[in-house]
């Protein structure tokens, strides 16, 4: 509201000067009031992350984990520690065998404070030069990123990024070792979720279910309350990409509590049939969109922001949490940063280093 012009007729009449004792009392009271007001303001100090960075804590009243605590499944929704449905929004890393240089203290500060994300998905590829080549190294990388994201009050999805071969049972022994190692290190954290198979493909739902019912007890052996995300058939499309639909999961769910089923889409390729399957599934089972892009199924080509917006509108209405692919400077249009950003160590905040998809998704995470 614009204040009224200050006129002579509106000025209050002057009061007599207070006496010395009254003036001293007023000074003391003013000082006490100032101390109380200062204590009530948001902290402006920085808190150490343990990785050499100072993270300002003035950007939010509370971090996502401060606000939500340990997440849980309630009915068909993701809920906070009080049983209230929530929607997480955030970003996925690219494969850490290629783009670990994009995941620094500064870039994660930007994700947490400039982008105001809720969640980071840490993608550990199994093949393609990933975990199978050096399990100790890639476990250590995942461990570091979990710690760094946790320091910033973010939720973390530990993504076991199986892609080829598409049968998750082919990597059962590796998955057992990886999740045993990770859960033993992070079992006391309330902010870690486990995605046990990125995109099963060329394999039946019954086979995926068998895998889930074998690996979930491994995770729960160390972390009984862990929330687990289960991949679905045909590149986590509820089978749509292989001619099926969500009914196979609805009618034959995994025998485990506190789990959600994953759905992936790429808006330029996955049109109304996929959108309808997501909508139907979310009314019957707990769903988490752990990967999506505004481009084609390869994460490249032209952005389809209109179709992407339809998906985001649906997910907002039904409180379906989502993670975008990907937080790197890969040359494909699906990577949010322009090539060379990571080698130059930023800039990470603002839009100068962002591709069109990066600007679009940052704005929707922040909104």
Catalytic residue positions, numbered: 199, 291
Distance CA 28, CA 366 (A): 43
Q: What is the 3-state secondary structure (H, E, C) of the chain?
A: CCCCCCCHHHCCCCCCCCCHHHHHHHHHHHHHHHHHHHHHCCCCCEEECCCCCEEECCCCCCCHHHHHCCCEEECCEEECCCCCECCCEEEECCCHHHHHHHCCHHHHHHHHHHCCCCEEEEEEECCCCCHHHCHHHHHHHHHHHHHHHHHCCCEEEEEEECCCCCCHHHHHHHHHHHHHHHHHHHCCCCCEEEECCCCCCCCCHHHHHHHHHHHHHHHHHHCCCCEEEECCHHHHCCCHHHCCCCHHHHHCCCCCCCEEEEEEEECCCCCHHHHHHHHHHHCCCCEEEEEEECCCCCCCCCCCHHHHHHHHHHHHHCCCCEEEECCCCCCCCCCCECCCCCCCCCCCCCCCCECHHHHHHHHHHHC
Contacts of 345 (CB under 8 A, 6+ apart): 104, 106
The residue length of the chain stands at 367
Place of tokens 């080829």: 164
Distance CA 362, CA 366 (A): 6
- Backbone phi, psi, residue 306, to 5°: -65, -50
């Amino acid at each position: 509201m614009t204040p009224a012009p200050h006129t002579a007729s509106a000025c209050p009449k002057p009061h007599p000067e207070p006496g010395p004792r009254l003036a001293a009392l007023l000074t003391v009271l003013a000082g006490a009031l100032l101390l109380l007001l200062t204590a009530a303001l948001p902290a402006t100090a920085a808190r150490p992350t343990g990785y050499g960075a100072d993270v300002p804590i003035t950007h939010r009243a509370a971090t996502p984990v401060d606000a939500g605590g340990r997440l849980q499944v309630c009915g068909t929704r993701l809920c906070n520690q009080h049983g209230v449905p929530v929607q997480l929004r955030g970003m996925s890393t690219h494969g850490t065998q290629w783009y670990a240089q994009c995941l620094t203290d500064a870039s994660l500060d930007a994700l947490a404070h400039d982008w105001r994300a809720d969640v980071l998905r840490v993608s550990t590829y199994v093949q393609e030069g990933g975990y199978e080549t050096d399990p100790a190294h890639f476990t250590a990388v995942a461990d570091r990123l979990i710690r760094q994201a946790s320091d910033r009050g973010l939720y973390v999805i530990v993504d076991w990024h199986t892609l080829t071969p598409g049968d998750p049972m082919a990597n059962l022994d590796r998955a057992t070792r990886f999740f045993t190692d990770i859960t033993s290190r992070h079992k006391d954290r309330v902010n870690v979720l486990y995605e046990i198979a990125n995109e099963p493909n060329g394999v039946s739902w019954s086979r995926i279910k068998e895998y889930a019912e074998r690996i979930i007890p491994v995770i729960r052996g160390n972390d009984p309350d862990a929330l687990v995300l289960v991949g679905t058939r045909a590149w986590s499309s509820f089978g749509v990409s292989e001619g099926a639909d969500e009914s196979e999961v609805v009618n034959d769910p995994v025998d485990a509590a506190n789990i959600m089923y994953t759905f992936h889409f790429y808006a330029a390729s996955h049109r109304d049939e996929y959108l309808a399957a997501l909508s139907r599934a979310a009314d019957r089972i707990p769903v988490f969109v752990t990967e999506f892009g505004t481009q084609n199924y390869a994460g490249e080509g032209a952005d389809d922001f209109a179709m992407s917006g339809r998906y985001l509108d649906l997910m907002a209405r039904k409180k379906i949490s989502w993670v975008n692919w990907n937080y790197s400077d890969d040359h494909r249009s699906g990577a949010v940063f322009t090539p060379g950003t990571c080698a130059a160590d930023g800039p990470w905040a603002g839009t100068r280093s962002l591709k069109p998809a990066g600007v679009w998704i940052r704005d929707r995470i922040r909104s």
